[in-house]
Chain A
Amino acid sequence: MSFLSLSHLEKTFGTNRVVKDFNLSVEKGEFISLLGPSGCGKTTVLRMVAGFETPTSGGIVIDGQEVTGLKPNQRNIGMMFQAYALFPNMTVAENVAFGLKVKGVAKDKRDARVEEMLRLIGLPEMGGRYPFQLSGGQQQRVALARALAPSPRVLLLDEPLSALDAKVRVSLRNEIREIQRELGITTIFVTHDQEEALSMSDRVVVMNGGIAEQVGAPFEVYNRPSTRFVATFVGTLNVFDGAVTGPQSVTLAGVPVTLAEPVEASKGATVALALRPEAVQLGRVEGADVVLPATIESVEFLGSIIRVRARAGGSVVALDTFNRMDAPPPAIGAETEVSLHARDLIVLAG
């Protein structure tokens, strides 16, 4: 039986159904990300787990206890907010101790736990400071310590990295993941940043229009998206139209291709075939299943990666190549070829 179970969750605001029949089972110690665009319902799901929103229907069970009707302060859940939400009138130590004090933990135990938490987040000397004396990254670390101090059953992270600058965001996400692994705490992380979701999570839930479009490991979600939305939302994607010629074969830009998996479409139908930029190669590659003539339209230098857009087979194809000092990027307007393998093609449903 799963540690956290959300079954048939629905949430309606007026006539607007924000969350539709949402189901999710989370194992103890698992790190799950809810990923999706603004307004997809991911934060509403998190807020229902926290108890800040009451589900219109459905149930939430944590560690075998039905919590759907419980108030937020009765659920023993830790939460981190985008806006840090540290109490401005309290020092760092007082902030971290707040949950323990509310629980009635004795002062000596409380002090020991605060010290332990501050050491865990790498700010053991900051206990006497006020939140306004800390940087954004430090404030968010304190918010993490405060959320973890009362030993919550579940940790909820509501876009905690969004307000931070890029460098701090990357280092803090690694720290959060390390601490989460160390404590083995079940965590739900809401983000619209696919890089964060893919790099931190055991599983990713891709949401769109209030429903979970796909639930899976980051590798699976990225490489085997189950719907067109997931494919286009997670990472960059090239989409081609292919004409079905057999149970497992199509033609792509007039070239016959045998796919890795059977196609669920009748002969003559058109299917969408997707391909990640890193699966398209510039030039003629030995053993490639499809080689198309191409004209370079744009070149973006991204540091370690060079993203090229080329017109091939009637559409614009994005492809990524590694930066190499001995191979300068292609010139715009250059005539070349692009190669791809049938095994990398993803047939999109929906």
Chain B
Amino acid sequence: MMRVVAWGVFLLGCLFFLLPLVGMTEFSLKMRRGVYSFDAYAAVFGDPAFWATFGYSLALAAATIVVGVVLVVPTAYWVRLRLPQARPFVEFITLLPLVIPAIVIVFGYIRMYNTSSFLPLTGSALGTDILLTMGYATLALPYMYRSVDTGLRTIDVGTLTEAAQSLGAGWVTILARIILPNVMVAVLSGAFLTLAIVLGEFTMAALLNRPAFGPYMQLLGANRAYEPPALAVIAFAITWGCMGLMQLATRFAKHERAKA
């Protein structure tokens, strides 16, 4: 009896999540009257603005991932190695972007880095891109930090560091050749989550007036009927693709099996 109830709850859950997706996908295929077609998808892929905004967001996502890795890996490593007592504080800091709305952060940025400030980043496209990258890195911080910290938990950071030091390695070598490769799967998890956040982010990009994928999706949604659900399906496919890549990375990381 319990088994039947469990399966019932499971199926109900599946329906709750899948029905809207099925409905949305079905609607996205109805652009041509009376038959199913991929016209909406063709229209999206045929739009140069799609590729321009998608490419822009992809580039910024890559920059955000680099900033995130450079910022988070040494920090999480150092906290675990030398400052374990600071861990609750650092965790609190990394959680702040979840409770502070993006709009607050971006208005703070605009106020701090406007054209009449000491560092007028908003005065140029490159400066604004840097600012947006920093904003994305802040938004992705909770996910990146948690991923990397979980990865560090699976290795004996202290002993590996001491072993490397006794062999003559300095901090940069230890981080680049010992720590980073051993938490690569965790870093990739964080990186894919960062990619998903950057591709879907609207507030910061819109308020900093940058041609990102988020504002493009919003613009399309406000003006078209069939293309927005097609775009949503594409966005889902990208996110799921990222999750699949995360699984693949875990499976094919040879040395990771040792930790399992």
Q: Which residue of chain B lies nearest to A75 when distances are taken between CB atoms in the complex?
A: B166
Give the chain A neighbours of B254 by CB distance below 8 A. 130
The yes or no answer to B84 lying at the interface (CB within 8 A) is: no
Q: Which residue of chain B lies nearest to A103 when distances are taken between CB atoms in the complex?
A: B168
A50 with B166: CB separation less than 8 A:
yes
B255 with A79: CB separation less than 8 A:
no
- Using known A-B contacts A98-B167, A99-B167, A103-B168, determine if residue A88 contacts B258 with beta carbons closer than 8 Å: yes
Counting chain A residues whose Cβ lies within 8 A of the other chain, the interface size class is 20 to 34
Most buried by B among A132, A147, A156: A132
Give the chain B neighbours of A77 by CB distance below 8 A. 166
Tell me, rounded to whole Å, the shortest Cβ–Cβ distance linking A116 to chain B.
Answer: 17
The yes or no answer to A160 lying at the interface (CB within 8 A) is: no
Tell me, rounded to whole Å, the shortest Cβ–Cβ distance linking A172 to chain B.
Answer: 18
- Using known A-B contacts A89-B255, A130-B258, determine if residue A99 contacts B168 with beta carbons closer than 8 Å: yes
B163 with A72: CB separation less than 8 A:
no
The yes or no answer to A81 lying at the interface (CB within 8 A) is: yes
8 Å CB interface, A80-97 against B: 81, 83, 85-90
The yes or no answer to A225 lying at the interface (CB within 8 A) is: no
B181 with A73: CB separation less than 8 A:
no
The yes or no answer to A150 lying at the interface (CB within 8 A) is: yes
A52 with B162: CB separation less than 8 A:
yes
Q: Which residue of chain A lies nearest to B254 when distances are taken between CB atoms in the complex?
A: A130
B159 with A150: CB separation less than 8 A:
no
8 Å CB interface, A114-130 against B: 130
Bound-state Cα–Cα, A86 to B255, Å: 11
The yes or no answer to A146 lying at the interface (CB within 8 A) is: yes
Bound-state Cα–Cα, A77 to B166, Å: 6
Give the chain B neighbours of A166 by CB distance below 8 A. none
Tell me, rounded to whole Å, the shortest Cβ–Cβ distance linking B82 to chain A.
Answer: 12
Give the chain A neighbours of B173 by CB distance below 8 A. 102
* CB < 8 Å neighbour of B155 from A71, A73, A88, A147: A88
Give the chain B neighbours of A88 by CB distance below 8 A. 155, 182, 255, 258-259
Give the chain A neighbours of B163 by CB distance below 8 A. 79, 81, 85-87, 143, 146
The 5 closest A-B pairs by CB, nearest first: A132-B258, A99-B167, A85-B163, A89-B181, A72-B165
8 other A-B residue contacts (CB within 8 Å) besides A81-B163, A88-B258: A52-B165, A72-B166, A79-B162, A83-B159, A87-B178, A88-B255, A99-B167, A156-B166
Interface residues of B (CB under 8 A from A): 155-156, 159-160, 162-170, 173, 177-178, 181-182, 184, 254-255, 257-259
